[in-house]
Amino acid sequence: GSGKGTQAARLRHDFGLTHLSTGDILRRHRAQRTDLGRQATSSMTLGRLVPDELVISMLLQELDAAGPGGFLLDGFPRTTAQAYALDRPLGKAGRRLTAALFLDAPDAVIVERLSGRLTCPRGHVFNARTQPPARPGVCDHDGEPLSVRDDDRAETVRRRLDVYHEVTEPLVGYYEERGVLHSFNGLSTPDAVSEAIRGSLGLAPATRFSRTPSEAVLVHTPGARGRS
């Protein structure tokens, strides 16, 4: 809702990072009806956080498959407990988080953006208000039907934001204390946010991470410091 997915995709493309989106990973497990996916389904559809041990198990599988190199975590960790749990296996693998990117936006804007989001079965995303498809209800890329995911419905988004403020927002202070937090205005245009991220991280447009095991970037969960 704050533009996190857009910025994650740009960072992956521009700087050669392996993109690990916990939301995509969870939805794939659900679609494939894996044991982990079935356990996560009820929590996701109700807008609740999936239990830490499930998320961490899925993420570690993806990190092992990706191999060494720079990576981008999108939407994880969501709790300070997850942050602590993540630090240990990363340290054992000789990796570390070098930046936490926080895109700040008011709750009302996030509800409006997410409740208008349309998704096709293959993962292409549109927005009924800001980026509608050429044909209503049909994906421009593959002709698949578009729908609003259960966890993007307005009432579910509001519950997710309540959980965010209670459980996830403390991560802003956690990473600020570690000296790796970079905050950005989620209401700015995508290009402006991208430029601000590059400037904050000291990256020119042509820069690529060296993809050593120690390098990582985290894109923080969308949310707002206030509830306006």
List, by residue number, the catalytic residues.
4, 78, 117, 149, 160
- What does the block give as tokens for 187? 């209401």
Residue type, 142: D
- What does the block give as tokens for 164? 């965010």
d(CA 120, CA 31): 13
- What does the block give as tokens for 71? 């990576």
**CA torsion sign, 217 to 90 to 77 to 149?**
positive
Would you say 40 and 30 are in contact if contact means Cβ atoms under 8 Å apart? yes
Stated length of the chain:
228
Spatial CB neighbours of 84, under 8 Å, sequence gap ≥ 6: none
Nearest in space to 160 (alpha carbons), one of 224, 84, 72: 224
DSSP 2: -
Calculate the CA 160 to chain-centre distance. 14
Spatial CB neighbours of 98, under 8 Å, sequence gap ≥ 6: 180, 214, 215, 216, 217
